Amino acid sequence: MAVNTPPAETAAVSRKLRPGKTGFFRTLGRQWQMLLMSVPMLLYVLLFNYAPMWGWINAFRDYTNKKNVARGITPFNGMANFEWLFSRPDFFQSIRNTLAMSLINLVFGTVSAILLAVLLNEVRNRGFKRTVQTVTYLPHFLSMVIVVSMAQNIFASSGPVNQLLLSLGIIRDPVFWLGEGKYFWWLVGVINVWKEVGWSTIIYISAMTAIDPCLYEAASIDGAGRFNRILHVTLPGIRSTFVILLIMNIGHLLEAGFEIQYLLGGGLVRDYSTTIDIFVLEYGTEKLNIGVATAAGMFKSIVAIILLAGANFISRRLGEETLI
């Protein structure tokens, strides 16, 4: 081992010997076909992800006077939109709600998806496996309006959930699931799991099919039972998928969704149901105050970038997969 220098090291040495631009241009010359192929995607990103950032300029404009707005007069007003946002206690409340519901969704969603994927992976009967998969991912295609309507009936005071709990003697009076703030986040978590668990299982199941069957056989020979095979073969096998998905989801932490909260929240549970998106809708978009809406969007993007970079950094430090 020590005698034969690995090829990678030789390359590194030779690159060191010939410093300067030549290395870059040589690589460019070697890979130009690939670079050419990436041009459309690059254009796409530039056009649809970077160019719209020009719109951030609206965060510094005054949109409060509707008549002026209609005539195209939107003067710059410095940081006034941000100052207004940060002067509102309910803006911070909406950040709290967004983060809380996102975290609940992330944990519930990931754990349930992995659990279901592992269980399905252990099922040998193909017909049963297919059926369960189909049944669990069908709710993904239901409109949120329908799902929330169902939830409103299921969780009503005289609804099935309360009746079940009452008949089991777990509670003595019906619980006011929909009207008490303390239940709201968890309700959203439960509804999300029900709707999305099958769908998010797909990616984990596909990661599991990529695991070499020899590993399972070797583990069996070494005396590992079913539980140990899951613990030492299946789970490590999907670890990289899990980490990548986790990092990506952390980037979306400030997007707890909008529909459930909008349809199920408000009124009594307002303090717990208002997410950033709903706050922006109520005080920005609905009032045609693009300034405030953009300022909130900008704030959200910046926090998302920080969270994403943070997760990436930690992951790298722990020697795991990274996104960048």
Sites of contact with another protein (CB under 8 A): 66-67, 69-71, 149, 152, 156-158, 176, 178-179, 266-268, 270-271, 281-283, 285-288, 290
Strands (E), 230-323: none
Nearer to another protein, 183 or 216 (CB): 183
Nearer to another protein, 217 or 259 (CB): 259
> How big is the chain by its Cα radius of gyration, in Å?
26
Beta carbon of residue 170, minimum distance to another protein (angstroms, whole number): 20
Nearer to another protein, 73 or 135 (CB): 73
Q: What secondary structure letter does DSSP report for 277?
A: H
What is the rounded CA–CA span in Å between residue 191 and residue 155?
A: 11
Q: What secondary structure letter does DSSP report for 72?
A: T
Nearer to another protein, 148 or 308 (CB): 148
What is the rounded CA–CA span in Å between residue 260 and residue 184?
A: 10
Whether the Cβ atoms of residue 292 and residue 85 lie closer than 8 Å to each other: yes
Beta carbon of residue 263, minimum distance to another protein (angstroms, whole number): 8
Nearer to another protein, 222 or 286 (CB): 286
Nearer to another protein, 69 or 161 (CB): 69
Secondary structure class of 124 (helix, strand, coil): coil
DSSP symbols for 45-70: HIIIIIGGGGGGGGGGB----HHHHH
Beta carbon of residue 84, minimum distance to another protein (angstroms, whole number): 9
Beta carbon of residue 287, minimum distance to another protein (angstroms, whole number): 5
Beta carbon of residue 279, minimum distance to another protein (angstroms, whole number): 11
Report the DSSP beta bridge partners of residue 89. Answer: none
What is the rounded CA–CA span in Å between residue 182 and residue 177?
A: 9
Whether the Cβ atoms of residue 284 and residue 298 lie closer than 8 Å to each other: no
Nearer to another protein, 197 or 264 (CB): 264
From residue 159, how far is each of 143, 163, 166, 180, 191 by CA, in Å?
A: 21, 6, 11, 16, 16
What is the rounded CA–CA span in Å between residue 139 and residue 310?
A: 33
Beta carbon of residue 93, minimum distance to another protein (angstroms, whole number): 12
Nearer to another protein, 212 or 259 (CB): 259
What is the rounded CA–CA span in Å between residue 215 and residue 35?
A: 38
Whether the Cβ atoms of residue 157 and residue 176 lie closer than 8 Å to each other: yes
Beta carbon of residue 78, minimum distance to another protein (angstroms, whole number): 19
Beta carbon of residue 157, minimum distance to another protein (angstroms, whole number): 5
What is the rounded CA–CA span in Å between residue 107 and residue 109?
A: 5
- Do you know the residue count of the chain? 324
Nearer to another protein, 67 or 126 (CB): 67
Query: Phi-psi bin for 224: left (phi > 0), alpha (psi -120 to 50), beta?
Result: beta
Beta carbon of residue 52, minimum distance to another protein (angstroms, whole number): 13
